[in-house]
Amino acid sequence: MRELLNGSFNGKVTVPGDKSITHRAVMFGTLSKGTTHVYQPLLSEDTLDTVNCMVKLGADIDITDEKITINSPGAESLTSPKELLYTGNSGTTTRLLMGLITGLNLNATIDGDDTIKKRPMDRVSIPLEMMNAKLKLNNERFTPVEIFESKLEGIEYDMPIASAQVKSAIIFASLHNKITTVIREQEKSRNHTELMLKAFGGNIEVDDTTITVNGGNTLTPVDVTVPGDISSAAFLMVLAAIIPDSKVTLKNILLNETRNGIIDVFTQIGADMTIENIDDSLEKRGNITITYKPNLKPFTISGDIIPKLIDEIPILAVLALFLDGESIVRDAEELRVKETDRIMAVTNELSKYGAEFEIYEDGFKVLPSKLKIQDIEFKSYHDHRIAMMLIVMGIKMNHDIKIDNVECINISYPNFIDDLKSLKGR
Ligand code: S3P
């Protein structure tokens, strides 16, 4: 950490591929007969767990630094895995797999690490059971989840929460069966599954917040080039915005309108931000440059914008501490059931630097605070985004911060420290 302290960050970085898109590309590649290439994928613990699960279903997958190649016999030839489908720390793998296995009419058991075991999975089993799926959950809510083959029926489902994982599980379950499923969202969650399914030849119609899947699909392989993950880029965007004299360009970043809430926040605070080279193929992408500027304004976020930046809220709390006034986050109760309770983790850990908050069940207000350095150990709660948030905060405080379990950044951004080092001293 020491070499990251003192002074500005300058230069260009290609952050790793988007996590949500990499998971889905590997899954859709497995459901399509033939060869799918996934270029510039995220290779991290979470996405490798998805790869391992797809191999257990019968796909042949080869990985190099710059691509994942999936050779699959196609959905109809995939078989019930003999071993446990282990999903590690990945909520996306766990929840999407529940739908995918159900849709293939296979038998399987899914389980992950200690964090996954505590996250609610009934949000997926409830709609799947409405489709006539047969599942057994630990205490009716948690992993391990056992899935038994069944004959599915179409449903009309009004989403009680904004969750792309739940929505995607229902879409996956509907795909290979001759049924029609309608999903209605109150707030639009990330739409990568819908976009990718269309590209792979699936029969899906999207009318604003209503999604109709006409099942009985045969998918065909498509090569996917994964844009950089805006949720990873967010840490470097905030760093450049709060460290004087910094100027950082993040190349080829996902700008999908269901994911770009942080761009709205940077506009709201009056940041010096430019976005160039926009390419609109499958998923919109472009280069984002952030240049340090003093006296940025505070932000207020609530309602529809929350699903568009849900994973960025921990690092936005750090940003808020260096703005001129009080920033507010509301309607973000989903943070309580992420890799850890992120409202608790953000406020507990940042308060060790003297940060003051008003805490709500669904968010927090960041109060003007007298920040100070204390030599106590910080906790990541084995949550990659909390660990990276703390690294950025430590840099801003010029503090050689000690974080327990910091290697959990490998879940989504194994090169984080190397990318930070590459921006130093130019
Ligand atoms: C994800 C959806 C979001 C997000 C998660 C990834 C996805 O969760 O927080 O990191 O890839 O579908 P929800 O589905 O719970 O909103």
Domain extent, residue 120, equals 19-225
What integer pLDDT is reported at residue 375 of this predicted model?
86
Ligand 1 pocket mutation, candidates 18, 19, 20, criterion most atoms within 8 A of CB: 20
Residue 210 sits in the same domain as residue 282: no
Domain of residue 73, CATH code: 3.65.10.10
What integer pLDDT is reported at residue 119 of this predicted model?
98
Residue ending a domain, choose from 181, 197, 225:
225
Ligand 1 close to Cβ of residue 50 (< 6 A): no
Q: How far is the CA of 363 from the centre of ligand 1 (A)?
A: 18
Residue 337 sits in the same domain as residue 419: yes
What integer pLDDT is reported at residue 185 of this predicted model?
98
Residue 293 · residue 270 · CB < 8 Å: yes
Residue 266 sits in the same domain as residue 308: yes
> Which residue positions in the chain have pLDDT lower than 70?
425-426
Residue 189 sits in the same domain as residue 255: no
Residue 170 sits in the same domain as residue 241: no
Ligand 1 close to Cβ of residue 412 (< 6 A): no
Residue 383 · residue 357 · CB < 8 Å: no
Report d(CA 351, CA 291) in Å as an integer: 27
Q: Is 80 annotated as a binding residue?
A: no
Residue 256 sits in the same domain as residue 169: no
Amino acid letter at 124? V
Residue 206 sits in the same domain as residue 298: no
| Pairing between β-strand 67-72 and β-strand 300-301 as defined by DSSP bridges | unpaired
Ligand 1 close to Cβ of residue 36 (< 6 A): no
Strands across the sheet with 108-111, in order?
85-86, 108-111, 142-148, 134-138
Q: Which residues are catalytically annotated?
A: 311
Ligand 1 close to Cβ of residue 20 (< 6 A): yes
Q: Is 190 annotated as a binding residue?
A: no
Residue 327 sits in the same domain as residue 419: yes
Ligand 1 close to Cβ of residue 283 (< 6 A): no
Indicate which residue's Cα is closest to atom 15 of ligand 1: 163
Q: Which residues partner with 291 through β-bridges?
A: 247, 272
Q: Is 422 annotated as a binding residue?
A: no
Q: How far is the CA of 299 from the centre of ligand 1 (A)?
A: 23
Q: Is 165 annotated as a binding residue?
A: yes
Residue 94 sits in the same domain as residue 25: yes
For residue range 49-61, what is the model confidence (pLDDT) as tens digits? Answer: 999 999 999 999 9
Which ligand 1 atom is nearest residue 231's CA? 10
Query: Percent helix, strand and coil across the chain, each rounded to 5?
Result: 35, 25, 40
How far apart, in Å, are the Cα atoms of 201 and each of 23, 29, 116, 197, 213?
18, 12, 32, 6, 12
Buried/exposed code over 261-288 (b: 16+ C-beta within 10 A; e: otherwise): bbbebbebbebebeeeeeeeebbbbbbb
Ligand 1 close to Cβ of residue 189 (< 6 A): yes
Q: Residue 406 carries which DSSP code?
A: G
Residue 32 sits in the same domain as residue 145: yes
Ligand 1 close to Cβ of residue 311 (< 6 A): yes
**Number of domains composing the chain:** 2
Residue ending a domain, choose from 225, 247, 268:
225
Q: How far is the CA of 114 from the centre of ligand 1 (A)?
A: 19
Q: How far is the CA of 106 from the centre of ligand 1 (A)?
A: 24
Residue 256 sits in the same domain as residue 395: yes
Alpha helices in 311-415 (DSSP H): 313-320, 342-351, 384-396
Where residue 216 falls (left for φ over 0; alpha for ψ -120 to 50; beta otherwise) is left
Q: Is 302 annotated as a binding residue?
A: no
Alpha helices in 260-330 (DSSP H): 261-268, 313-320
Residue 268 sits in the same domain as residue 206: no
For residue range 350-369, what is the model confidence (pLDDT) as tens digits? Answer: 999 999 999 999 999 999 99
Which ligand 1 atom is nearest residue 166's CA? 14
What integer pLDDT is reported at residue 258 of this predicted model?
98
Residue ending a domain, choose from 162, 190, 225:
225
